[in-house]
Structure 1
């Protein structure tokens, strides 16, 4: 049995500025999500005897910990080409160094932080991830064409 419940908070603030009729600039900042999670997991042993007797025993292990996700910042630009479509692009910065899971008397965060480091990005050396997205849409008569590209760079500092 495992059950996780939690609550948290994060915020996102964004602006769009219309420079000219065909050009718009935008920016957003996303705070880390600050989460408090309550995990309960348990184990049960059931034994049945030939004579009809049953033995059941179980234990639950509750723990509470805090999780902080990375902060993000992004900026973008869109160029509108009259009635024919648009080209848009944005760059996103993700600060993985701020990711954290707290420890307490019943929970040691080392194992979970190790999993995060191995499965997302190398947090021990990573400063940030930079993402670039481009999207274009062209419309003429009954024909609409769309293209999208995503590039991702990991900015890291080598270990001494």
Structure 2
């Protein structure tokens, strides 16, 4: 077995940490009321996106190698109902989901990447399942940040490279990733 599997797990772990950090920096800029704002009735608000991502992680990462990623206890439809949960509750549910994800990723061994798991009774390679989660989280992370920026407008603290070039924080973050 080559080192590519170890490298992949290192990169995946870093990528998930980056997603979590970026989302939390955006969410921290918003009030509880702003988490529940949405531009129209058909749109999701940030609270719904937090519930959905957290519900997904609570399902996918429990028994990742041994059980179907879509658990029978998950009520996916309820994740898209805004019950005006408190910011504290949302962030606790969020944190629990991420904890499950990180525990699972960190417990994976390089040889596990060659195994097959199931999602909604469909077989997937472990790499496919991880990549599906990366795509899913990044998709909704973009929505969270876009909505936050719409709410805050000019008060929004930019979390990526500013229009006028690299920030010191971005340069440091990139150097830390490359230096692992």
TM category (shorter chain) comes to: under 0.3
Using structure 2 for the length normalisation, give the TM-score. Answer: 0.20
Q: Determine which structure has the larger helix proportion and give its number.
A: 2
Q: Determine which structure has the larger strand proportion and give its number.
A: 1
The structure with the largest alpha-carbon Rg is 1
Using structure 1 for the length normalisation, give the TM-score. Answer: 0.21
